[in-house]
Structure 1
Amino acid sequence: MFRYILTRCAAMIPTLILASLVIFTIIQLPPGDYVETYIGELLASGESVDMARVEYLRAEYGLDQPMWKRYLLWIGNFVTGDFGYSFEYQRPVSEVVGNRLWLTILVSFATIILTWVIAFPIGIYSATHQYSWGDYGLTFFGLLGLATPNFLLALVMMYFAQTIFGVSIGGLMDAEYIDQPMSWDKFKSILEHLIVPTIVIGTSGTAAMIRRIRANLLDELQKQYVTTARAKGVPPFKALVKYPLRMSLNFFVADIGSLLPAIISGAEIVAIVLSLQTTGPLLIAALQSQDMYLAGSFLMFLATLTVIGVLLSDILLGFLDPRIRLTGGASK
């Protein structure tokens, strides 16, 4: 196991280098740069452009350097913990992202907990009561949740909240608490506003997990070792939990690779619809304005979390399922 972990950690280095090259290249593909976008916004608003300032900005941000030199500067600073300077916000990237990061993590964790609490009991019930009325009903609502886009559900909930209750459910806090230091009243406001985005974002994820738990558990329940355990008189709950449920959770552990970056990135479209102060809209705005250090550093951070998550899921799968061998090679 230790040798396997060392090998995988060594393989992470070229993977991240390749990811950084791809990210930097994609960010540079659109024509122009942030300064040109800034000039276009000035001209569109009828303001004059000071070319001396334009040249100063290019030199200040290193935009007059060759692409390879900009890449080396960016990735070198990223490794040392310097994520660059945001052109749009005129602040270091760490400060821009840090203001929204904890809100994103809060929303994501609340959504994940809601998904697990609802999906596991329903998925297990549907698998152990196959083709019952309860199974049919839960399957219907699961398919309904999968078929409904999150942003559409957000729009519907916003409409009914405004027309029926006369309240706005946008944002993660009341307007008076924005840009204010954390306090007990602000925290209560965040908790009150957290309910709707948690339900909206978690709907499709819960429905998908219910279907996957049901399918995987049904597959395990039909295997010979379950029949043997029942024939030997093993109690039904123990016969369900000890092996079939454990073996059916392989997909759940394997999803850790995508779960870690999802916690940080958040649901971008839903965040825009509900005006959430999370990192999703920040990333989209950075890509639109070609704020290369903000967008590039954020995407590189997500790539790093993905690689770490995949490593963790592979290690946990080895402990969860003895049929998975991490050492490779054929067994006789």
Structure 2
Amino acid sequence: MIKYILKRLLHLIPLIVGMTFVSFLIIKLAPGDFLTSLKMNPSISKETLNALRKSYGLDEPVLKQYFLWLWNALHFNLGYSFAYHRPVTSLIASRVANTLCLTVTAFLVTWTLAVPLGIIAAFYRNKFVDRIITSFSLVGLSIPGFFVAFILMFFAAKTGILPIGGVVSQNYDRLTLAGKVLDRLKHMAIPLTAMVVGSISGLVRLVRGTVIDELEKDYVKLAVAKGLPRRIILFRHVMRNAMNPFITLIGFDVAGLLSGAALIEIITAWPGMGRLMFEAVMSQDLFVVMGALYIGGLMLIVGNLLADVLLALNDPRIREREIEGRR
């Protein structure tokens, strides 16, 4: 298994290098940079701008700039933000917690609700319960998450029931522990609901379809003919064989924990990585954009590696193919 993990890591290294290089090149192809906007400020001399450009290494050729950035990034020195005037590492660290708080909660809520609902819909397919669950999932799929966020923001603005924007209230420090938890949940309610509605709908349909496919296979019919209880057939045999697509999806979800909520964060004014990335792109804050993409790429590697390891642990056929490949 250790050799398998190392092999997967080696395969993913070119991916992150290629991704960061293409991103760096696209950003550099855009007209101007952050320092260009400072030319309009009469209090900043041309000599000062040239000194700043040199100190940031922006006067070097593009390839040299990229490899200097890559060398520093490998040591987790992601540069200095033009707009925020602070190291990119500390800036990202201050936003990562907010994004992970939202996305991890959405991930747990989505999977906790979607998997049982999908199994129930498959078990009672074409019956009343199945029709209710699939109808709700179709409605959820037809409504984009950002539209749900707009509706909830409008509702909150009209009623004042839920706060708009931010992570905590101004009087957060004076609240009790229970009050602090409730305050955070209230601020998280709108972006969390917007994320869960779309995610849970697609996952319910995936679980339902996969479980139905497994229930129609010959080994299930044989188990039923032998008199095994349907509960044992479902949870000991069907679910394990149906796990592979879900495990792959878990890997993608882990990879998207930092970037998957970008649009929702922007709409709901949630101060996370999505808003930071948007503001950095708009202001051409090169090192913040590259730092966010670099961290996102690392999350992609972790997510794919986690999915590969879980697939190998769950499915003996994958392990056997890997052993035969080494032979």
So what's the TM-score if we normalise by structure 1?
Answer: 0.90
User: Residue 116 and residue 230 in structure 1: after superposition, are their counterparts in 2 closer, same or farther (change >3 A)?
Assistant: same
- State the partner residue of 2:17: 17
Select between 155-164 and 167-176 the one with higher mean Cα deviation: 167-176
Structure 1 residue 136 corresponds to structure 2 residue 123:
no
Alignment match of 2:255 (pick from 255, 258, 261) = 261
Q: How does 1:54-203 map to 2 (within 5 A)?
A: 54-165=49-160, 168-175=163-170, 184=177, 186-203=180-197
AA matched with 2:280: A
- State the partner residue of 1:282: 276
For residues 106-162 of structure 1, what are the alpha-carbon distances to aligned partners after superposition, in whole Å with 9 as ceiling and x for unaligned?
A: 111110111012101110011011111111111111011111111111111122223
> Aligned partners of 2:195, 2:203: CA distance in 1, in Å?
13
Given that 1:172 and 1:194 are in contact with CA atoms closer than 8 Å, whether structure 2 keeps it comes out as: yes
> Aligned partners of 1:181, 1:13: CA distance in 2, in Å?
47
Q: CA RMSD in A?
A: 2.3
Tell me the CA shift for residue 10 of structure 1: 2.3
User: Residue 83 and residue 255 in structure 1: after superposition, are their counterparts in 2 closer, same or farther (change >3 A)?
Assistant: same
> Aligned partners of 1:122, 1:36: CA distance in 2, in Å?
54
For residues 139-195 of structure 1, what are the alpha-carbon distances to aligned partners after superposition, in whole Å with 9 as ceiling and x for unaligned?
A: 111011111111111111122223245654333222455xx8999465542232122
User: Residue 166 and residue 198 in structure 1: after superposition, are their counterparts in 2 closer, same or farther (change >3 A)?
Assistant: closer
Tell me the CA shift for residue 290 of structure 1: 1.3
User: Residue 95 and residue 74 in structure 1: after superposition, are their counterparts in 2 closer, same or farther (change >3 A)?
Assistant: same
AA matched with 1:173: V
Q: How does 1:231-310 map to 2 (within 5 A)?
A: 231-310=225-304
Tell me the CA shift for residue 219 of structure 1: 0.4
Percent of pairs with identical residues: 33
> Aligned partners of 1:124, 1:3: CA distance in 2, in Å?
35
For residues 37-67 of structure 1, what are the alpha-carbon distances to aligned partners after superposition, in whole Å with 9 as ceiling and x for unaligned?
A: 3435x4xxxx655322221221221111111
Equivalent residues, number: 323
Residue aligned with 1:263, SS: coil
Given that 1:27 and 1:296 are in contact with CA atoms closer than 8 Å, whether structure 2 keeps it comes out as: no
Given that 2:38 and 2:44 are in contact with CA atoms closer than 8 Å, whether structure 1 keeps it comes out as: no
Given that 1:318 and 1:326 are in contact with CA atoms closer than 8 Å, whether structure 2 keeps it comes out as: no
For residues 48-90 of structure 1, what are the alpha-carbon distances to aligned partners after superposition, in whole Å with 9 as ceiling and x for unaligned?
A: 5532222122122111111122112111111112111111100
> Aligned partners of 1:310, 1:209: CA distance in 2, in Å?
19
Residue aligned with 2:258, SS: helix
Residue aligned with 1:12, SS: helix
Given that 2:145 and 2:197 are in contact with CA atoms closer than 8 Å, whether structure 1 keeps it comes out as: yes
For residues 195-217 of structure 1, what are the alpha-carbon distances to aligned partners after superposition, in whole Å with 9 as ceiling and x for unaligned?
A: 22211111100001000000100
AA matched with 1:265: S
AA matched with 1:174: S
Alignment match of 2:205 (pick from 202, 206, 211) = 211
Tell me the CA shift for residue 254 of structure 1: 0.6
User: Residue 243 and residue 35 in structure 1: after superposition, are their counterparts in 2 closer, same or farther (change >3 A)?
Assistant: same
Given that 1:83 and 1:94 are in contact with CA atoms closer than 8 Å, whether structure 2 keeps it comes out as: yes
Residue aligned with 1:199, SS: helix
Structure 1 residue 5 corresponds to structure 2 residue 5:
yes
Select between 8-17 and 115-124 the one with higher mean Cα deviation: 8-17
Given that 2:8 and 2:305 are in contact with CA atoms closer than 8 Å, whether structure 1 keeps it comes out as: yes
Tell me the CA shift for residue 27 of structure 1: 2.0
> Aligned partners of 1:167, 1:258: CA distance in 2, in Å?
31
Alignment match of 2:214 (pick from 208, 220, 225) = 220
Alignment match of 1:51 (pick from 38, 46, 61) = 46
So what's the TM-score if we normalise by structure 2?
Answer: 0.91
Given that 1:150 and 1:270 are in contact with CA atoms closer than 8 Å, whether structure 2 keeps it comes out as: yes
Given that 1:142 and 1:210 are in contact with CA atoms closer than 8 Å, whether structure 2 keeps it comes out as: yes
Given that 1:85 and 1:293 are in contact with CA atoms closer than 8 Å, whether structure 2 keeps it comes out as: yes
Given that 2:255 and 2:304 are in contact with CA atoms closer than 8 Å, whether structure 1 keeps it comes out as: no
> Aligned partners of 2:88, 2:182: CA distance in 1, in Å?
28
